[in-house]
Amino acid sequence: MRDVYLHALFSPKAIAVLGSFDGGSVSASVIQSNLERWGYQGRIVPVNWTTSTADARRKEVTGVDLAVVCLSPELVCAALEEIADRGVKAVIVTSPGFREVGGAGYYLEEAIIRLAESRNLTLLGPNCLGVASWNDRMNASLVPRLPAKGKIAFFSPSGSMCNAILDWAASEEIGFSKFASLGNRAVIDEASMLQFLAQDPETSVIIGYLEGMNSGRRFARISQTITREKPVIMLQAGMTEHGRKAISTHVGALTGSERAYQTALRQAGIIQVDNLSSLFDLARMFGSQTLPMGPNLAILTNSGGAGILAADGLAGTSLNLPRLSSGTLSRLSAFLPRHAQISNPVDIGMDAAPAHYVQAVEEVLRDRHIHMALLVIAPGFGVDLPSIVRELADMHHAEGRTVAVCLIGQDGVAEERCFLQSQGLPCYSNPKAALASLEAMFRYAQWKATPYPVEVCYRRDKAKGERFVKDCLEAGKTELFGFEIQPLLQAYELHFPHTELARTSKSAAKIAKRMSCPVVLKISSPHIEYKSDVGGVEPNLQSPEDVRRAFVSLTSRVQCLRQDAFLSGCLVQEMILGKPVEICIRVQRDPRFGPLIRFGLSGSQTEIFQDYSLRLAPLSLDDAATMMRELKFFSLVKRERSRDSLDLRALEDVLLTISQMTLDLPEIYTFECDPVLVTSRGVWIAGARMSLLSQLEDQPGF
């Protein structure tokens, strides 16, 4: 990725606009007009590319930091070569007709990518709208209407979404610092832009719209550091099969699975939203308020019904509605009307004076138990709303105390809502939206307080593991089951019960005698995923004769239930004594983000109850511990048996080792350990299956 000259995209000293200014290139004329209208202080060089001579073009672009290319697709590559010769390092290509249209456009885009790599060009686009930087008074884009200056930066690959969000921000009087339309993301992608904006002193909040992702793992890794400094809010599209198909035709991008995207964003501390309304709400809140120091909320209202509605909205959130201190109650009762209800929620009544609204909020926020305040105002007879909002605009509150206002209604309170927002006070039309924003602020404050992840590299014989995988692929074995995977488990020091395959009942009895009973007998079939669902497990067999009889009955029973399944025999396995908890650890490699690790109960219970946790590799120490805490059933089992009765540290080690293994061996496409037996004296992998990719595709982000 050539993104070392990203500063030239937003703070150039001279800009060349390449196009046909005799009526053939409307885009070039629009960009030149926007630059001039915005008062850009640097040099603007319009270059009539199709009519100028080569010598004239070279002379015009000499000394230029940024070139905006508005040419037909077939002319772009030659133009980039020519301007690169003159020392231009940053380029915006607004022209459509590349990867997004397929066919010849795909190869044209591949050509400009190779050129950018070889000539060290920082290239934005193609098929994009351009960029804007408020601090530099630069609008090098095709967007005519931009919002006022502020602290929010925004990027998106979709031009229509850029227009929609910028128009919304202008209408809502929300200020932006920088904006970038990524287009097809041939060179500069989301990860590059995020890294640049993290270092931008003019930006305090980053918002974005995501469609697929070229460098999924890089984006996730970068985000883990950035989100501890600045909030990053993302609206993710393509979460359904239809959406993913639309993305591939829109910008020609590959997409990952919904679970992988959501896991990657959550693991990186990115605040996820699923609609434009929520994106706007959170941008407004994070762009104007300081983070709360805790989850305790006070609700103030002039309407009892509105207060009840807001209190009901707390259900299912992590926010609390605590009692106010006696001192706070005493101070409130001193100036509020006698009929006011001064518990939490605080109902000050419809006849309260405008100054009382502000005074009540300020008094509540002085309470050391309160971290946030939500003021819910219902219009009505005797409510002087214009005076109330003027008073609120002058309100002061301490650092670490977050305030939001809810004006119930739409058109009747629109003017007052816009006024409050222009004064830096987030204002909502319903309590639920306000509470969602307040909770997002609290959760982000918690994320910032968490320590940086500590990754652990466990002992393993990586070379032995690589030889095992290579030998399997050379032999054409891409699907492996049970005891076939034992050499790989040994290479990574993962414990497993002694297991042997028996083709007949006689051999099963001999194996059991050699192992010393008791043993477990398991059906062996590549077509049966959950053995317990077909009665394919016979535990605690005490003698070789028991094993022989169990072999006959087990194979007969399973063959009747699953006539389509091939049975290779039965596995005779050492019995793990005690009452182990059976866990399933499953890994699947996502095309954008790499190994996605799922931790849940063994068998079909996980699918039925959807009780599992997900993380992307590499796992940190905290990830492994948190995955266990997230599993509801596993938490109940721990409480039932006491923490000391299960070797949780050994289970953490297994999770971290599997994470390391799937990163070391990219040929592993799926890897499943089921069941993983967790006891008080260790953890054993009692069953495993794995699929290999014989040839990895060239996938960005890997």
Chain segment 269-279, per-residue pLDDT in tens: 999 998 888 99
699 has pLDDT over 60: no
The top-scoring range by mean pLDDT among 42-51, 133-142, 279-288, 693-702 is 133-142
The top-scoring range by mean pLDDT among 21-25, 31-35, 479-483 is 31-35
Chain segment 488-516, per-residue pLDDT in tens: 999 999 999 988 999 999 999 999 999 98
Chain segment 436-461, per-residue pLDDT in tens: 999 999 999 999 998 888 777 777 89
Position 244 scores a pLDDT of: 47
For residue 296, name the pLDDT band (cuts at 50, 70, 90): very high
Cβ proximity of 259 and 239 under 8 Å: no
247 has pLDDT over 50: no
**Residue keyed to tokens 């999770």:** 655
Give mean pLDDT, residues 219-243.
81
For residue 643, name the pLDDT band (cuts at 50, 70, 90): very low
For residue 180, name the pLDDT band (cuts at 50, 70, 90): very high
Radius of gyration of the chain (CA): 31
Give mean pLDDT, residues 356-370.
94
The rounded mean pLDDT for the chain is: 89
Cβ proximity of 66 and 12 under 8 Å: yes
Chain segment 525-553, per-residue pLDDT in tens: 888 877 877 889 999 999 999 999 999 99
639 has pLDDT over 70: no
Q: What is the DSSP string of 411-446?
A: GGGHHHHHHHHHTT--EESSHHHHHHHHHHHHHHHH
Count CA atoms closer than 13 A to 501's CA, side-chain side.
13
For residue 173, name the pLDDT band (cuts at 50, 70, 90): confident
242 has pLDDT over 60: no
Give the chain's end-to-end CA distance (angstroms, integer).
Answer: 13
Q: How far apart are CA 624 and CA 615, in angstroms?
A: 9
Q: What is the DSSP string of 62-74?
A: TT-SEEEE-S-HH
Q: How far apart are CA 82 and CA 10, in angstroms?
A: 22
For residue 238, name the pLDDT band (cuts at 50, 70, 90): low
CA neighbor of 573 nearest in space, from 525, 538, 624: 538
pTM listed for this prediction:
0.85
- Characterize 306-326 residue by residue with b for buried, 16 or more Cβ atoms within 10 angstroms of its Cβ, and e for exposed: bbebbbebbeebebbeeebee
Position 405 scores a pLDDT of: 96
Position 367 scores a pLDDT of: 95
Cβ proximity of 508 and 568 under 8 Å: no
Q: Give the domains, in start order, of the chain with CATH numbers.
A: 7-286 (3.40.50.261), 297-449 (3.40.50.261), 452-495+578-702 (3.30.470.20), 498-575 (3.30.1490.20)
